[in-house]
Structure 1
């Protein structure tokens, strides 16, 4: 069995050697290698290297799938080699120029929101736990009712569940400044200005209790609690403004004048132009999202459950982050999560069928861990390492995802958070017994159908010979 250092060397050799590597980075599951000449890379050889769960070329990068945890260790070993070329930051800049305009924007959108997701995951878990500990049935076991809970305890739970969404514009503006080369601290301050207590609260306005302030008689000025797009666009413009100012402001005035001008100009633009315009855009996106989710007879689950993993392959699935954040902020629950969960679980079911049915030890060693990874919410190893390689298992997974999503939509289950699915995702439903039961059934339907179809029609060992080389 090769150690990680040997595997790292084999990966770089299959990528065309050290001289062909411009730079290396990684995400949660993949090693991302920027190449000078992609024709020198041998993807077939890469896929046969130990611990590699799949490899493909996309978005200007050679992407080698190792899975969570393993990819971090491989990245460390690769960095010990004599890799010449650009830095990791420059690699991101280079990658931004790859693909069409829509793909580049979605990729940038992902760069902004991925660092924020852990805070939103924690918030969703807190919401689930609050639902559990305030459940009348559970409280009755201890001789309590929801009304008997101390007011201070309810206040404590509100701090846990509300803070991330109240200050979401600060998180978004911080991350956007970071991605676009501005000073993150200015992003935080600018985002906090968007939710200043001096402004009418967005949630109070939504409830009809408060009216926006009207400047010049027609420009509505309000706080942007829980909002995303106004802070995102403000962050982009603000970061670019800061970079331009730093080129023009004399060095001895830079510390004082640049942040002053950035904050002054940007909060003015944000409150009077960017905010009002993109708040309308955001409302339109939310209305469209709700219209899709409200399709009758479970059609939304059928469509999304089938298409989601296809969208994952294209790399533009980060757009769902915006939709889920909006649902959680405005509705308080996330109906996308159980549908997406079904599509992820189904790909795991298909990979599991391949792993159990094949007699190939190498494929078993790849498929079984990949299915476990999918059941923990990460499908790339199962998709690229197993299902797409033989195609039929992937299609059976799409069918299973559609069935599971259809059931989730019909049953009306909704998560209290986002970004975790399948087994870990159960924590987002624990506050309601009905929700937990039907969430588990959703997963079982998706996994069971994908597994059964793959076992019966989607895979046999004759396919191994057709995929060699």
Structure 2
């Protein structure tokens, strides 16, 4: 039993064994490619680390993948670091995809001198790419070994071991064939610059999109559709996108998921894109790119936001109808479940924005952690001792007075941080020697980027927020109807840039001092409008990937959380956000005209009890329903008629292209 549960990996080359964490490549050292080990080689003969089938050979010969027959481990041998740039010159392979090998068989030779002459590291890496599914542990040995000796011993996890013992081990490589077909029909590895993915799509950056066979890719079993947008060739997969992405990376090599490479490709794509010649066209082009970055950074967490929004709505109902007290441990636990994704949103957005813009996502996650660190949050909530340019000074940095803002629930500062990092990181990697990068690149990035946000961007946001807050108060004092129209129409725009927090203190102060807030009632109408627009899309669209996002986003918006509706659907497709904002303006106008008041924080439809006057029901309750119903009708109708059609999300239809020689029909 114990032997059947044990896994052994041989070193594929003579040399010194090192733990994976010591490998000078962030993709491998962070464990993104699975458990494994590295070898500092002393000669160039390469042998198979396991018995199995060769399932992948990179066209640049620097990576070879194997699948074992007894437990379906997927083992990758990676020859050198960043050696994809050497175009296969230092390597000679003895095997091809489909070959069967025995552990210890000679499979390749590696010219170590040629690798070093190309200014690349010779470190050989062995990784079990599906170790998260298969292995409970993998322990490398230490010291110097000869090729073919046991370098690591591991143990199968309970699920894999039991399935193997019962003869029910699933077949390996479920998506390998689909991955191979996709790679072939986007023009092959030589046509790929890099690959990322969101929650439904593979997003290729291709050297020449005309080499891709759209019709063939679209007709592959497992592919929903093909789309082209923002310099990306997008293959719509659906819920299995992560598995297909892993299979594609296994085929083409992990270098194509490298963050630095992604940054370079994004920069090249942006530079190559045709910029409009007119000033207004340039503004629209820049705003469109900004919206693309924002929505692209938010898409991976939209599902979490929607789920949390629904949970917030359920909690609000429990509190409203006295099933749970807001001081009870039950409330605290459920509130933590519903609020954590929002409270720590800078960490998640930092990671996703880093991947989108080409910065190291792990480092960006750490920067997000700095912004949400309890001590920083405490500083942000501290009492101001003085003011500078209208900002409350609540801290000092080396004796210099500064304003520390609150960044929980925010997204825009982290997108700005990722953009700064995408510029800083390539420069750091050019000037810092390779042997020092692992420590000093993260060190400098965290210090510089965190400092830039806390000491510069934060105060700028505070100045803008204060100016907006003063303007909103002035408008509201002038006319509730006009303020309802303006705030209703533009409030969700403020949400995009994180400037809506200027209004929150006003609302909080109103409720704390008077027990109610007319302003919060207008804000509630904007939430209803976003829900009405995304509801129209959910009912109108025939695309499964749109419906998968639109329905939970609708529920979340009506529960008072609009981010999934905005970032997942409405803002992404442009016109829907405009039609939703028009509906919000109408709802805000009616709310102001009818002087609808609100006695709680929870808005949208789920917050209907917040519109009941504790001293006795008045017209505010009915005014809320009138304004909300009209808002839904307006935003729903405008979105249905003008805001969205499936062609916005579907692939760009093009005429069939002539196939290249050697391509499959």
TM score, norm. by length of structure 1: 0.57
Partner of 2:463: 280
**Residue 129 (1) aligns with residue 129 (2):** no
1:75-224 equivalences in 2 (<5 Å)? 75-76=245-246, 78-79=248-249, 81=251, 86-87=256-257, 89=259, 90-91=261-262, 93-99=264-270, 102=286, 105-110=290-295, 112-114=297-299, 120-121=305-306, 124-135=309-320, 138-139=321-322, 150=327, 180-181=359-360, 183-184=363-364, 186-188=366-368, 190-192=370-372, 196=376, 199-201=379-381, 212-213=393-394, 219-224=401-406
Relative distance call for 1:442 and 1:409 in structure 2 (3 A) is same
Of residues 271-280 and 397-406 in structure 1, the stretch that sits farther from structure 2 once superposed is: 397-406
Task: Quote how far apart the aligned CAs of 1:26 are.
Answer: 2.0
**Residue 34 (1) aligns with residue 224 (2):** no
Partner of 1:360: none
**Residue 345 (1) aligns with residue 535 (2):** yes
User: Which structure shows the bigger proportion of residues in helix conformation?
Assistant: 1
* Separation (CA, whole Å) in 2 of partners of 1:15 and 1:253: 37
* Separation (CA, whole Å) in 2 of partners of 1:123 and 1:303: 25
Q: In structure 2, the residue corresponding to 1:190 is in which secondary structure?
A: helix
* Separation (CA, whole Å) in 2 of partners of 1:36 and 1:119: 34
Relative distance call for 1:54 and 1:157 in structure 2 (3 A) is closer
Task: Quote how far apart the aligned CAs of 1:188 are.
Answer: 4.7
Q: Which has the larger radius of gyration?
A: 2
How many residue pairs match? The answer is: 395
* Contact in 2 for aligned 1:30/1:63 (Cα 8 Å): yes
* Separation (CA, whole Å) in 1 of partners of 2:498 and 2:430: 37
Relative distance call for 1:130 and 1:62 in structure 2 (3 A) is same
How big is each residue's C-alpha offset from its partner over 1:243-276, in whole Å with a ceiling of 9 and x where there is no partner? 7667767899989887777666666655544432
* Separation (CA, whole Å) in 2 of partners of 1:396 and 1:168: 26
Q: In structure 1, the residue corresponding to 2:606 is in which secondary structure?
A: coil
Q: List gaps (5 residues or longer) in structure 1.
A: 309-316, 352-366, 380-393, 418-426, 460-465
Q: In structure 2, the residue corresponding to 1:134 is in which secondary structure?
A: helix
* Contact in 1 for aligned 2:538/2:551 (Cα 8 Å): no
* Contact in 1 for aligned 2:195/2:204 (Cα 8 Å): yes
Task: Quote how far apart the aligned CAs of 1:32 are.
Answer: 1.5
Partner of 1:69: 239
RMSD: 6.0
* Contact in 1 for aligned 2:205/2:231 (Cα 8 Å): yes
Relative distance call for 1:192 and 1:174 in structure 2 (3 A) is farther
Task: Quote how far apart the aligned CAs of 1:222 are.
Answer: 3.3
Task: Quote how far apart the aligned CAs of 1:94 are.
Answer: 0.8
* Contact in 1 for aligned 2:297/2:352 (Cα 8 Å): yes
How big is each residue's C-alpha offset from its partner over 1:306-325, in whole Å with a ceiling of 9 and x where there is no partner? xx9xxxxxxxx9x9643587
Relative distance call for 1:125 and 1:328 in structure 2 (3 A) is farther
Q: In structure 2, the residue corresponding to 1:344 is in which secondary structure?
A: helix
* Separation (CA, whole Å) in 1 of partners of 2:450 and 2:654: 57
* Separation (CA, whole Å) in 2 of partners of 1:74 and 1:260: 34
* Contact in 1 for aligned 2:536/2:639 (Cα 8 Å): yes
Task: Quote how far apart the aligned CAs of 1:113 are.
Answer: 4.5
Q: List gaps (5 residues or longer) in structure 2.
A: 1-173, 276-284, 508-519, 555-572, 610-620, 647-652, 657-665
Task: Quote how far apart the aligned CAs of 1:342 are.
Answer: 3.2
Q: In structure 1, the residue corresponding to 2:376 is in which secondary structure?
A: coil
Partner of 1:423: none
